[in-house]
Amino acid sequence: MEKKESKVPVVAKSVLLPFILITSLFALWGFANDITNPMVSAFKKVLELDNFQASLVQLAFYGGYFTMALPAAIFVNRFSYKKGVLLGLGLYAIGALLFYPAAAYEEFGFFLAALYILTFGLAFLETTANPYILSMGAEKTATQRLNLAQAFNPMGALLGLIVAQKFILASLQSDDLLPDGTTVYSTLGEEAKAVVRTADLAVIRDPYVLLGIVVIGFLLVISLVNMPQNAHQETKVKIWGAIKRLFKSRKFTGGVIAQAFYVGAQIMCWTYLYQYAESFGIDNTKAVNYGIAALVVFLIGRWVGTGLLKYIDSGKLLLFFALGASIATLITILVPGMIGLIALVSISFFMSIMFPTIYGIALEGQGEDAKFGAAFLVMAIVGGALMPTLQGLILDLGGAGYTDVQILGVPEVNFSFILPLVCFIIIGIYGRDVYKKYNLETTL
């Protein structure tokens, strides 16, 4: 009789507790991402900024990833994954706690600096946690394992959006409207505005300070738990040799490019959903319900996609989901109003598998070079800093509103989603190339 091939577990029992702890970090940075997305609109109103200035929130937030990803990889290479996680949590907590003095000084630049430092911590966590999860078992199940861990990211993101809606946006006095739709805040004198501004910035501050305290709790728990070490993955690697090897791989370099465009698309779709809704009369507090719906759809897509990866090649699945996202984005652009908003929400289903799938594909077979490969994939998150700023510039074409001008027959806010459409087309091309070319090359 032939011996049956033993099934390779996605997560072995021996690493279950460390897997759960590291997976919890995915929820933790998801919370930070999605409590921050609505803050673009909140800061715009409280501090009376234009769309470009408000978009600097995302530039600071995702710019921190670009700045710190490679130093994080160098740190992990010298020390260990666990120490990288602990340093990341420390920086995360410091950035969140800096919201307290930022609110006291009432300076937009101080808030941007706090977000920038906070994302130094997130860069450490993402550079460390993603390859750490990949290393917690067989390479055969690595992409599945990462998709499973990443499925908890939108759970944290959902909580972040709910906190933004219930405890921040609903409490902002600067968002109160007169019967004609004008904000009360814009009609006040300077002294009255100063009182409202102080109160509203304190409302924005408090959830971040509480988040900093929670992160310190995670830091203490993880510091006390024995975490596994993967001798192969945690071998010291010469940085320049690793970088040269990585960039000789077209599957890896294509993955870095695709990841930059994916993160840019995700942040644009989730940030400017609020402006899209507001363009036809839905205020920020109610628009958060559509943001929550987008995350629920995203979570469903992540679980569905993780299941499909058992049966469909990862490159082919990436291509199919990119096509679906492109079609939904076209509807968002061409059909103003509620149908366009529903299409915008539905994009999240198709985005769901993109980050971990691109990540897993790009690092597949990279061995001990994966920690530096992870750094470049995290640096690619800078797409989330640059592209929303470009979208903000499109929104400013006719003024501070969202429907000041028509471009190719649609309001400027609709037309601005041409940027995510381009991103999804590029991701689809990468998925096709992985399926048709790169996987074939690696087997020769």
> Any idea where the domains of the chain sit in the sequence?
11-233, 236-443
Better-predicted residue by pLDDT, 236 or 411: 411
Calpha distance 346→15 (Å, rounded): 35
Question: What angle in degrees, to the nearest 10, is found between the helix axes of 39-46 and 190-224?
Answer: 150
Q: What's the token pair of residue 224?
A: 């006390």
- Choosing among 3.40.640.10, 3.40.50.2300, 1.10.3720.10, 1.20.1250.20, the CATH entry for 11-233 is 1.20.1250.20
- Choosing among 1.20.1250.20, 3.40.50.1970, 3.90.550.10, 3.40.190.10, the CATH entry for 236-443 is 1.20.1250.20
Q: What's the token pair of residue 85?
A: 């996680």
Q: What's the token pair of residue 21?
A: 């702890």
Calpha distance 402→117 (Å, rounded): 31
Q: What's the token pair of residue 410?
A: 């649609």
Q: What is the mean pLDDT of the chain?
A: 85
Looking at the predicted structure, is the pLDDT value of residue 5 above 60?
Answer: no
Angle 371-73-231 from CA coordinates, rounded to 5°: 45
Q: Which of 268, 250, 249 is nearest to 429 (CA)?
A: 250
Q: What Cα–Cα distance (Å) separates residue 415 from each residue in 16, 50, 69?
A: 46, 18, 33
204-222 average pLDDT score: 93
Looking at the predicted structure, is the pLDDT value of residue 443 above 50?
Answer: no
> In degrees rounded to 5, what are phi and psi of residue 411?
-60, 155
Whether 236-443 and 11-233 are alike in CATH topology: the answer is yes
Q: What Cα–Cα distance (Å) separates residue 126 from each residue in 33, 180, 219, 307, 374?
A: 12, 46, 15, 23, 8
Q: Which of 293, 291, 294, 278 is nearest to 411 (CA)?
A: 278
DSSP 3-state percent helix, strand, coil across the chain (nearest 5): 80, 0, 20
User: Could you read off the pLDDT of 171-207 as tens digits, one per residue?
Assistant: 888 877 677 667 777 788 888 889 989 999 999 999 9
Looking at the predicted structure, is the pLDDT value of residue 110 above 80?
Answer: yes
User: Could you read off the pLDDT of 148-178 as tens digits, one per residue?
Assistant: 887 788 788 888 888 888 888 888 888 776 7
Calpha distance 379→359 (Å, rounded): 12
**Residue 65: count of CB within 10 angstroms of its CB:** 26
Calpha distance 376→391 (Å, rounded): 24
Looking at the predicted structure, is the pLDDT value of residue 231 above 60?
Answer: no
pLDDT of residue 2: 44
Distance between terminal CA atoms of the chain? 32
Q: What's the token pair of residue 282?
A: 């839905």
The 10 Å CB-count burial string (b at 16+, else e) for 233-243 is bbeebebeebb
Q: What Cα–Cα distance (Å) separates residue 82 from each residue in 18, 37, 72, 107, 224?
A: 10, 29, 12, 35, 11
Please tell me the least confidently modeled range out of 16-25, 32-41, 64-73, 120-129: 32-41
Q: What's the token pair of residue 266?
A: 């995700």
Calpha distance 222→216 (Å, rounded): 10
Better-predicted residue by pLDDT, 86 or 62: 86
